[in-house]
Amino acid sequence: MEEYQKLSLIDPQRVANLPTPDKLFLFLSCTGSIEYPGTERAVRIVGEKLGIEFIESVDQTCCTGYMLTCNAVNPQLALASTSRNLSIPQEMGLDVGVFCNGCYGYLRELAHLLHSNPAFKEVGDKANQALGREKFHGHTKIYHVQELWFRQLEKLTSLVKRPLTGLKIAAHYGCHYLANKDVAIDDAQYPTFHEEIYKALGATPVVYKERRACCGYSVGRGFTHREETVLPHITNKMLSAATAGVQLMTTTCPGCNTALDREQKTITARGNAVSIPVIDLSQLIAFALGAPVEQLGFKANTTPVLPVLERFIK
């Protein structure tokens, strides 16, 4: 199982370039807050252990990326709301930490569009002006929390309270993170940094065939093309993980988590019995660092999580 490392393309320079902040603006995710609130809690727990204080704002709205990519709103709305949302951390003088690949991808892509096209920039600036806010200047940095966890991997390793010895874990990276190939710390075609994190927690990383496959739920295809393409796709993915002997899967996006966790019920009902708990990477880290299990919100999961984690709770 060590073979995957030979192909590892993690860029140490990019990792070293990541900051180790003591304060970050936490960008809240709608799906995360509603479907898997344990993720939000876990992010705070891991942050606390690493000395990162997360500040949130009740003024922050939805990132609007989902509605944009479902073509259900005017594109200008997504540009304006990105500009507005990012003006909040800018005002606080903080960089942004995101725990949803969707929010991460949309914020980065839209912030890029805002600054590469003067017409789009004007849409954002006009919106902020009309709301009496300062212009968004574009200097605010946007990080996914998983990168920041990986940046401090040594510290995480030293903090492990529940070594996950023998637990076979597999990764689902999520497209909207990997699509940012110019900024990601790893190679989008063959990412391996989640596997490095599992090893640091004492677990056994498992590489399965459909590891790089997406969750199928983005841009609303889970609603419009569920029977036609999404279900066959998720079935392929989860069966390939089951064949590889995966006991637990982690995601870094509440949206992916919803697809891979909830749809197992349907896949099983249709004759392909599969039961692989899917949790967020931050939840896994928080668990290994000894966080009380009732704080991690595993109750929200459709595929039960505790059966595979129980033996590590003393």
Partner 1 sequence: MKREQASDWSIEFENAIATSGLADDIRRCISCGKCTGVCPVAAISPSYNPRQIIREVLLGNYERIVQSEEIWRCFWCANCAATCPSEIKYPLLMLYIRYFSMSHGAGKKHVDPFIRFVTKARQEAVTFQPGKPARLDEIRELRSSLGLAPLRIVSDKGIKEYQKLFEITGTDEWLKNYQETPEVPIDLSYLEGKILVPDDSNSGSEREV
CA atoms of 222 and 312, how far apart (whole Å): 35
27, β-bridge pairs: 98
Q: If you write DSSP's letter for every residue of 56-76 in order, what string do you get?
A: --TT-----HHHHHTT-S-HH
Report long-range pairs for 17-22 (Cβ below 8 Å, ≥24 apart). 18/143, 18/147, 18/148, 18/150, 18/151, 18/185, 19/95, 19/141, 19/143, 19/148, 19/151, 20/50, 20/148, 20/151, 20/152, 21/52, 21/95, 21/148, 22/51, 22/52, 22/53
Based on CB atoms, which residue is closest to partner 1, 78 or 167? 78
Residue 299 interacts with partner 1 (CB under 8 A)?
yes
- Size of site (CB under 8 A) for partner 1: 70
Q: Residues 254, 257, 259, CA angle at the centre, nearest 5°? A: 115
191-220: which residues touch partner 1 (CB under 8 A)?
212-214, 216, 218-220
Tell me, residue by residue from 3 to 32, as one string, x for binding to partner 1 by CB under 8 A and - for no binding. Answer: -------------------------x-xx-
- Applying the rule CB under 8 A, the residues between 252 and 291 that interact with partner 1 are none
Q: Which is nearer to partner 1, 143 or 217 (CB)?
A: 217
Nearer to partner 1, 167 or 289 (CB): 289
Radius of gyration of the chain (CA): 19
Q: Which whole-number Å values give the CA distances from 203 to 1, 157, 242, in the listed order?
A: 12, 12, 17
Residue 213 class from Cβ within 10 Å (0-12 exposed, 13-18 middle, 19+ buried)?
middle
Q: Which residue, 39 or 140, is less far from partner 1 as judged by CB?
A: 39
Largest Cα–Cα separation, the chain: 58
**CB 69 to partner 1: min, Å:** 6
183 binds partner 1 (CB under 8 A): no
| Residue 41 binds partner 1, judged by CB under 8 A | yes
Question: What is the token pair recorded at 164?
Answer: 């996950």
- Given 164, 288, 289, 300, the residue binding partner 1 (CB under 8 A): 300
Closest CA to 97 of 56, 39, 154, 50: 56
Q: Please tell me the distance from the alpha carbon of residue 27 to that of residue 307, in angstroms, as a whole number.
A: 32
Residue 279 backbone phi and psi in degrees, to 5: -130, 170
Q: Residue 156 interacts with partner 1 (CB under 8 A)?
A: no
For the bound state, the minimum distance from the C-beta of residue 200 to partner 1, rounded and expressed in Å, comes to: 25
Smallest distance from the beta carbon of 157 to partner 1, in angstroms?
A: 26
| Distance of closest approach, residue 113 Cβ to partner 1, in angstroms | 7
Among 10, 18, 73, 153, binds partner 1 (CB under 8 A): 73
**Which residue in 17, 20, 33, 266 binds partner 1 (CB under 8 A)?**
33
38 sits near partner 1 (criterion: CB under 8 A): yes
Tell me: does residue 59 bind partner 1 (CB under 8 A). Answer: yes
* Cβ neighbours of residue 90 closer than 8 Å, sequence gap 6 or more: 134, 136, 137, 139, 140
Residue 145 within binding range of partner 1, rule CB under 8 A: no
Q: Binding segment for partner 1 among 139-147, 157-165, 226-234, 241-249 (CB under 8 A)?
A: 226-234
Chain residues that interact with partner 1, rule: CB under 8 A: 28, 30-31, 33-35, 37-38, 40-41, 58-62, 64, 66-77, 79-81, 84, 109, 113, 117, 119-120, 123, 126-127, 130-131, 175-176, 178-179, 181, 188-189, 212-214, 216, 218-221, 223-225, 228-230, 232-233, 294-295, 297, 299-300
